[in-house]
């Protein structure tokens, strides 16, 4: 290993787009889905790809059944790579149904979380309730990510309503807003039963919101290719599998054939021809 010290790739080889920010990034964020990987795998993931992970979501309600010492160790590891770990929105929904949101937020802060997700993918929240819980979470010194959309098959939020909720959530104090796409990326939200995204829908939404604060759940590689071609290298994408992080970053940088010409300059294209 000592013989490798001091060897670095030329910046143009590592990032032909010259567009990727170093961490902490303000755009081009990647959120990875952790469905229950152990500490060794978690550490390996960060050692290999921590430079390219901005957030890690503990999927579903898994935060509630993960031993707290392991949660805290994961938080420490993530923090050492300038990465935020947070629990999935379903766990908040459990707390809401039981009338325990204040206790939930308090416990998250005790454990060491910085962010919380507030969603209504399975339950129903009124607009007034969404704002109330955003503000309640912030009163516990938590930063907030909200999610828009239902988990039911064939469900899609009307564009005008999504845009309205985005602006309302942001005004109430949400840092980021996620568009529901589930872990599967099929038959829900912007994705049809083949997993193809509704490009017109995405286009119309992005024309009306600040896309630097908007995340698209985008678990499948073909979906990532389409959205990156449509929205650019620095689209915020989430629900990325822990084995697909370098794959996505390669797509962002034009280091895969699928985006090779999308993010190269006209001169570079002429040279290839």
Reply yes or no on whether the pLDDT at 100 is more than 70. Answer: yes
Packing angle, helices 245-253 and 39-49, rounded to 10: 20
Specify whether the CB–CB gap between 262 and 229 falls below 8 A.
yes
Residue 186 has pLDDT above 80, yes or no: no
- CA dihedral sign, ordered 29, 114, 214, 56: positive
Interstrand relation of 30-34 and 55-58 (parallel, antiparallel or unpaired): parallel
Q: What residues are paired with 145 via a beta bridge? A: 117, 176
Segment (H or E) for 86: strand 84-87
Tokens describing residue 212 = 């630097």
Three-class secondary structure of residue 197 per DSSP: strand
The per-residue DSSP string of 214-240 comes to EEEE--SHHHHHHHHHHH-TT--EEEE
To the nearest 10°, the Cα dihedral for 177, 179, 180, 184? Answer: -120
Q: Residues 196, 197, 199, 201: is their CA dihedral positive or negative? A: positive
> In this prediction, what percent of the chain has a pLDDT beyond 70?
94
Axis-axis angle for helices 159-172, 199-206 (nearest 10): 40
Choose between 205 and 266: higher pLDDT.
205
pLDDT digits (tens, 9 = 90+) for 13-28: 999 999 999 999 999 9
Reduced to 3 states (helix: H, G, I; strand: E, B; else coil), residue 161 is helix
Domains of the chain, by residue range, sit at 20-272
The per-residue pLDDT for 273 is 52
The pLDDT of residue 236 is: 98
pLDDT at 1: 52
Is the model's pLDDT at 3 over the cut of 70? no
The per-residue pLDDT of the chain, averaged, comes to 93
pLDDT score for 268: 54
What's the CA gap between 86 and 99, in Å, rounded? 21
In this predicted structure, the answer to whether residue 187 has a pLDDT above a threshold of 80 is: no
CA distance 200 to 153: 20
CATH, range 20-272: 3.20.20.70
The partner residues of 79 in beta bridges, in order of sequence, read none
- Tell me what pLDDT residue 269 has: 53
Tell me: pLDDT of 203 over 90.
yes
Question: pLDDT tens digit string along 128-148?
Answer: 999 999 999 999 999 999 999
- C-alpha span between 62 and 213 (Å, rounded): 25
**3 state DSSP class of 149:** coil
Give dist(CA 209, CA 125) in Å, integer. Answer: 22
């Amino acid at each position: 290993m000592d013989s490798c010290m001091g060897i670095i790739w030329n910046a143009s080889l590592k990032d032909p787009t010259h567009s990727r920010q170093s961490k902490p990034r303000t755009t081009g964020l990647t959120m990875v889905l952790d469905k229950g990987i152990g500490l060794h795998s978690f550490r390996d993931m960060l050692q290999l790809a921590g430079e390219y992970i901005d957030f890690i979501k503990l999927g579903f309600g898994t935060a509630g059944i993960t031993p707290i010492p392991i949660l805290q160790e994961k938080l420490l590891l993530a923090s050492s790579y300038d990465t935020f770990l947070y629990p999935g929105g379903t766990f908040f929904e459990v707390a809401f149904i039981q009338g325990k949101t204040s206790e939930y937020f308090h416990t998250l802060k005790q454990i060491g979380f910085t962010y919380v997700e507030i969603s209504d993918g399975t339950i129903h929240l009124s607009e007034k309730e969404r704002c109330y819980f955003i503000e309640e979470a912030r009163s516990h010194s938590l930063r907030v990510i909200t999610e828009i959309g239902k988990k039911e098959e064939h469900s899609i939020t009307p564009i005008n309503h999504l845009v309205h909720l985005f602006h309302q959530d942001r005004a109430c104090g949400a840092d980021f807003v996620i568009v529901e796409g589930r872990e599967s990326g099929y038959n829900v939200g912007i994705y049809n039963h083949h997993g193809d995204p509704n490009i017109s829908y995405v286009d119309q939404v992005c024309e009306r919101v600040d896309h630097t604060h908007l995340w698209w759940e985008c678990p499948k590689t073909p979906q990532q290719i389409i959205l990156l071609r449509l929205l650019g290298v620095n689209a915020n994408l989430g629900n990325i599998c822990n084995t697909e992080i370098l794959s996505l970053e390669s797509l962002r940088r034009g280091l895969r054939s699928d985006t090779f010409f999308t993010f190269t300059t006209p001169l570079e294209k002429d040279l290839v021809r």
